[in-house]
Chains A and B, each alone.
Chain A
Amino acid sequence: MHEWALADAVVEATAAAMGSRDPSCLRGVTVLIGELQAIDREIFSFALETLLSERPYSRGIFHLETEKATFGCEKCQREWDLEESRGLTDEEREAIHFLPESAHAFIRCPACGSPDYRLKKGRGVSITSLEVVNREGCV
């Protein structure tokens, strides 16, 4: 379950962003999960809470949101989503789960077949916001 490694990254990054602020300042962390990486939300959430329990922050501060994956073809300008990228095998999906850039080895533009496209959004895990208490020493 490499979700643990990503959860660890989120918790470490949260602690780094908080720096020396009082841990009680932290109210919420919004984490965006890109559809392409197909993170197991349950494992990821459990890992976040478990890793957080080793730190002086309140439980339940993580809010998980999912972002749909969107691709854009550089050749024919077609945009498409993951549902249209049919025919991926389980092994290919697993490879993309571990390393989202692997998608470029397996997915082609559904309109023109070009390998020249960009993943426009929905890649992997990122932190979009930290909510802190509005008081002196917290902001």
Chain B
Amino acid sequence: MRLTDPRTAVVAKRLAGIQRVIAFSSAKGGVGKTMCTVVSALVLARGGRRVGILDLDMQGASAHLFLGTRPRLPEEKHGILPLPVADGVSLMSVAPFTGERGLLLRGAEVSDAILELLAVTMWGPAELLLIDMPPGMGEEILDLSRLVPRLEALVVSTPAVVSVSVVERLLSVLRELHVSVPAVIANMVQGDTGRVRDLARRAGVARVVEVPHDPSIEAAIGSADALASSAAGIALEKAMASLGYL
């Protein structure tokens, strides 16, 4: 008889009411994963979808900062409840537990924390779960691809040479893990996106979503309305509709 970690037995049950789980991923840091995750959640909610955000960046959780939410311990109801952060949007991350303190974890502890959050968070009415992935390739993508049924990934890259090169490695890994990639998001676009389009073609990804470089984003941080109405918000709203999320 095979005994497994009991938490793995309930992850699918916790996500049963959620139609699609989308990991905003990029092996490269600083390409705008969190912005894309949060703004996508806001435009989806504005379009009537109920959205959960799971920020899995243990060292650099920042979705709450974009949303202007002060982290606080979650309420309990046969599990823990994600924080309501905007109309139709709820958030879970390590920030409610650790605040703005640094959290130094080794790989196995990262896996434990991910599994715990997946096992005890009650997403309630959320229809879509957007996961803000940390940079790099490690426990997060391995654990999610194993534990989350029908996981899909929107892969974020800037058009920069280094970003495209690093992201190509992620796309290769996602293919091996059988994680579906409906689109590559070319973020911070100021000109030609040929490199990202070539990358998508090589990786067999059907769509490229272009999100313009938007200097107003910095000033919009902390305001759900301003983020959703930004140029990035308009681009991501169109993308969410074309990808069938809206």
Contacts and interface: CB of A to CB of B under 8 A. Distances in A.
Contacts of A118: 106
B105 A13 contact: no
Contact of B109 (A5, A14, A101, A125): A101
B119 interface: yes
Interface stretch (B94-102, B185-193, B233-241): B94-102
B1 A130 contact: yes
Contacts of B3: 13, 17, 127-130
A101 B4 contact: no
Interface in A89-139: 91, 94-96, 98-102, 104-106, 115-116, 118-119, 123-130, 132
Nearest to A91: B73
Contacts, number: 112
Contact of B117 (A95, A99, A123, A130): A99
Interface of B: 1-10, 13, 58, 73-74, 76, 78-80, 94, 96-99, 101-106, 109-110, 112-113, 116-117, 119-120, 122
24 contacts: A2-B80, A2-B120, A4-B78, A5-B120, A6-B6, A6-B120, A8-B13, A8-B78, A13-B3, A13-B5, A17-B2, A91-B73, A94-B73, A95-B98, A98-B97, A101-B58, A101-B110, A101-B112, A101-B113, A102-B97, A104-B103, A106-B101, A119-B109, A124-B112
